[in-house]
A and B are shown apart, each in its own frame.
Chain A
Amino acid sequence: MKLKSILAGAALAMTAATGTLAETTKVGFVYVGPVGDGGWTYEHDKGREAVVAAFGDKVETMYVESVPEGPDAERVMTDMALKGADLIFTTSFGYMDQTINVAAKFPNVKFEHATGYKQSDNVSVYSARFYEGRAVQGHIAGHMTKSNIVGYIGSFPIPEVIRGINAAYIHAKEVNPDVQFKIIWAYTWFDPTKEADAAKVLIEQGADVVLQHTDSTAPQAAAQAAGNVITFGQASDMAAYGPKPRVSSIIDNWGPYYIARTQAVMDGTWASTSTWDGIGAGMVGIGEITSAVPAGVKASAEALRDSLADGSYHTFTGPLNKQDGSVWLKAGETAADYGDEGLASMGFYLEGLDSEVPN
C-alpha cells in the first residue's frame, strides 16, 4: 500500500516534470571568451538575448563563458545536455570534434556548431561570410595607408582566418598596388596582452592600418595610443574607439538565426543544415564608416558593400593566382564554397602575400 502510493506519487511528479519540460525549450550556449570581450562572444551573447526577448518564458537559456577549445568543452556540453538542453550552440571553430562527439551521445539534443564543417544528424553548422566584410576593410585600408604597410593580427591559421587575409589583401592591392601585408599569428582568440603586443610590434614595423582577427579591443587601444593608426572593429562594432582609430567594423548578427533555429526546435521541424550567410542576408554587418575616412573612399567602400550584398559581385572573382603563381581562378570565375580548392577549406595565400601560412 505504502509502496504503491510512493510509486504513484513518483509517477505523478514525473509527468509534472516532463510537462513543464515540454513547455520551455532549453537552449545552451558555449562561449570561447567572456561575454564582456566586446567582440565575438559579446555578439553571440546578444544573439542569446535576442532569443530570450523573442520567446520570453517559453525559453530558458544557459551559457558558459571562456570554455577552452579542447577536452574541457566536451565536459561543458555534456553537462548542458544532462541539464536538459534541447538545443546547444557551440560558438567556436575549435569545438568542432567535441560537438560531434557529444552529439553522438545525445541523439535527442540538437547541436549547432559555428564556423565548422562537420555535420551529423543532430549537428548543424552555421557561419557568416566574414570575408565579405574583410573585402570592404581591405578596400578602405588600401586607400588609407600612407606607409603602404598593413598589419594583420591572425588568431589561428584556419580557413576562416586565411580567407579573411586573402579577401582583405586582394581588395587593398586593387586600389593600392604597392600595399604590403605583415601578419602576426597570436595563436589565441582572446588574450588582450598578446593582442596588444602584436599590434604594437606591427605599428613599430611601420603599419598604419591594423586589421585584427582576434576578439578583444586591446589592438584598438594600442592603435589609439600610437596615434596615427587606423583599425576596424572585429565581430562587434567596437564603436567606443571611433571615429579614430576604429574607422569601420564587421558586425556579426546572430540573433535572427538563433531565433529561427529555436523556433524550429519548438515546432519540431529542426533538421541538420549548413548555413553560410553574408552581408546580403544580414548575418554580416558593416559598421558605420567614420568621418576619419574621406568621403570618396567611404562612397566606394559602400558601393563595394552593396554589390556584395545584392550578389552582383563575388569577393573572390578571377583572375586570381595562388601565392606560388599557379592559377586559382580564371578571369570572371568566382570561387566555389566547397570542394578541394573551395572557400570552406582555403589553406593557401593568394599571389602577392609574402609570408607563409604556418603549419
Chain B
Amino acid sequence: MDLSAISPTLLVASLMVAATPILLAAIGELVVEKSGVLNLGVEGMMITGAISGFAAAVLTGSPMIGFLCAALGGAALSVIFAIITQYFLSNQVATGLALTLFGLGLSAMLGQSYVGIKPPASVKLDLPLVSDIPVIGPILFSHDFTVYAALTLVTGVWWFLKYTRGGLILRAVGESHDAAHALGYKVVRVRILAIMFGGACAGLGGAALSLVRVPQWTEGMTAGAGWIALAIVVFASWKPARVLLGAYLFGGVAVLQLNLQAAGVSIPVEYLSMSPYLITIVVLVVMSANRSKSALNAPAALGRVFHASR
C-alpha cells in the first residue's frame, strides 16, 4: 500500500472531468423538475446526445459541431416526451421510462457504424504559465472546455432561478400550475421549454462522455449516468450549488476507488462503488424525516398533470 502515490491535486482535477457528464445532465433535470415535470428519460436523452454528438464530430471533424448536435439530439428526444406529457397528458413516470428505453435502442441503432472509431480531439485549455502553477494550475486552468461550460451553466441556472423574472415564473409553474395559469402564465409553454432545456443539457452530458471523457462510442456507454443525475437532483434538494457538490461527490468516489486500487489498498472495490448510492439513501431518509422541510424543497406540482379546465 502506498497512498503517497495518490496526488490530491490530480485527484481533484480528474474528478472534475469525471463528474462533468452527470453534472450537465443533473443541472438540466433540475430546471425540468423546478417547472413541475418529472422526466425519467435522462439516461435515454444522454445516450442519444452521446451518439448524435459523436457522429456529427466524426463526420464534420469539428468537436464544436458535435456538441451542438448532441444538444439538439437530446432536445429532439425530449420534445417527444414534452408532446406526450403536456398535450396528451400522459403519466410522466411511465413516459420517462419509455423515453430511456427508446433512447438506448435508438442510439444503439444509430451508432452501429461508429464503434471503434476515433473522434477528433476537443479543445483543451492550456494557458502558458497559468496552467503550470502548482496545485491551482491543474485543478483550475487545464481542463477541457466542457468542464468550464458545465460550471458556467450551473452558475447561470442558479442566477436565472434566483434573480430573474423568468426564473420566478418557472418556479411558480412548478409550485402551483393552477395559480400560475390563473395569473395568465402559459404553463404548458414554460414546461415544454424547460423540458427541451433539460434534454439539451442531457445531450451535452452524453457528448462530454463520448467526445471527451472516453473518447469513443459504445452501445450503452452512459451505463446509468442518467439515473445518477436524477438521484443527484433529489440529493441536492433542487438547489443548483448542491447539484455541483453531489456531482463532484459521485465523480470523486468513482475516481478514488480506481486510485486506491492502483495504490494497492485492499478494500473490496464494491464498497466504494456502493458508497455514493448509500449516501443518497441516507440523505433521502434525513430529508423525509422532517416532512415540513422536505415539502419546502420539492416543487409542489412535481409530476402532476396540468389540464387547463378554465
Count: A-B pairs, CB below 8 Å: 87
A190's closest neighbor in chain B, by CB?
B218
A287 to B166, CA, bound (A): 61
Output the nearest chain B residue to A42 by Cβ-Cβ distance: B116
Cβ 8 A contact of B261, one of A184, A204, A218, A240? A184
A108: interface (CB < 8 Å) = no
With a cutoff of 8 Å between Cβ atoms, the chain A residues found around residue B80 in the complex are none
Complex A-B, nearest 9 residue pairs according to Cβ-Cβ distance, in ascending order: A36-B115, A201-B258, A38-B116, A36-B116, A355-B264, A204-B10, A192-B216, A182-B262, A205-B5
Q: Is the CB of B262 within 8 A of A217?
A: no
- Report how far A183 CA is from B269 CA in the complex, Å: 13
A134 part of interface (Cβ distance < 8 Å) = no
Q: Which residues of B contact A205 (CB under 8 A)?
A: 5-7, 259, 262-263
User: A-contacting residues of B (Cβ < 8 Å)?
Assistant: 5-7, 10-11, 14, 18, 115-116, 118, 121, 209, 213-216, 218-219, 221, 223, 254-255, 258-259, 261-264, 266, 268-269
Nearest chain A CB to B265 CB, angstrom units: 9
Partner of B255, one of A193, A197, A240: A197
**Closest B residue, CB atoms, query A225:** B121
A196 and B216 alpha carbons, distance in the complex (Å)? 10
When the two chains form their complex, are residues A37 and B214 in contact, meaning their CB atoms are under 8 A apart?
Answer: no
Q: Let me know if B214 and A192 touch, CB within 8 A.
A: yes
Asked if A200 lies at the interface with its beta carbon under 8 angstroms from chain B, I say yes
Q: Within 8 Å CB of B268, what residues of A?
A: 358
Given contacts A37-B115, A204-B14, A240-B118, contact A185 B218 (CB under 8 A): no
CB B88 to nearest CB in A, in angstroms, measures 35
**What 15 additional pairs, Cβ within 8 angstroms, besides A183-B262, A358-B269?**
A34-B219, A35-B115, A151-B262, A183-B261, A185-B261, A191-B218, A192-B221, A193-B209, A196-B216, A202-B262, A204-B7, A204-B11, A204-B259, A217-B118, A218-B216
Q: Count of A residues near B, CB < 8 Å?
A: 36
Residue from the list B10, B121, B209, B216 in contact with A216, Cβ < 8 A: B216
Main secondary structure of the interface of B (DSSP, over half): loop
Q: Please, which residues of chain A bring their CB within 8 A of the CB of B269?
A: 185, 187, 358
Q: List 9 A-B contacts (CB under 8 A).
A: A34-B218, A66-B219, A185-B269, A192-B216, A193-B218, A197-B255, A197-B258, A204-B14, A221-B215
| A198 and B213 contacting across the interface, CB-CB below 8 Å | no
Q: How far is the CA of A190 from the CA of B218 in the complex (A)?
A: 9
Q: Give Cα A218 to B5, complex, Å.
A: 23
CA gap between A36 and B108 in the complex, in Å:
13
Report whether A354 and B264 are in contact in the complex, using a CB–CB cutoff of 8 Å: yes
Tell me if A206 counts as interface (CB < 8 A to partner B): yes
CB distance from B108 to the nearest CB of A (A): 9
How far is A66 from B259 in the complex, measured between Cα atoms in Å? 28
User: Are B255 and A201 interface neighbours, CB within 8 A?
Assistant: yes
